[in-house]
């Protein structure tokens, strides 16, 4: 039963995550691109195929922004800073 509840909660949180970034995309699309032809429509950094979620996954495991930028050179520091600015202003 606990596993079922966890899976339902996880699915709900994923839906909220997608809805949140869909909203941000509508507000400002110079940072985020949502296109069904790119990563199956997952929000990505504009001009890349790098999912936005990957950045927050890095942060959630204790990795730094510097490590993320080294591992994903297609994403610029400016894109990360503008994304964080959008998130904190929401």
Second CATH level (architecture) for the domain 2-89: Orthogonal Bundle (1.10)
**What whole-number distance in Å separates Cα of residue 37 and Cα of residue 7?**
27
* pTM confidence score: 0.68
The tens place of each residue's pLDDT in the chain, 90 residues long, gives: 444 544 555 565 566 666 666 665 554 467 888 888 899 888 899 999 999 999 999 988 899 999 999 999 999 999 999 988 887 776
What pLDDT, on the 0 to 100 scale, is given for residue 30? Answer: 78
What pLDDT, on the 0 to 100 scale, is given for residue 72? Answer: 97
Where exactly are the structural domains of the chain? Answer: 2-89
**What whole-number distance in Å separates Cα of residue 62 and Cα of residue 48?**
24
């Amino acid at each position: 039963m606990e596993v079922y509840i966890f899976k339902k909660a996880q699915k709900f949180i994923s839906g909220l995550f997608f809805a949140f970034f869909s909203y941000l995309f509508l507000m400002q699309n110079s940072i985020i691109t949502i296109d069904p032809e790119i990563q199956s429509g997952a929000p990505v950094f504009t001009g890349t195929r790098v999912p936005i979620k990957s950045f927050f996954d890095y942060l959630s495991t204790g990795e730094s922004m510097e490590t993320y930028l080294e591992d994903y050179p297609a994403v610029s520091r400016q894109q990360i800073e503008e994304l964080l600015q959008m998130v904190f202003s929401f």
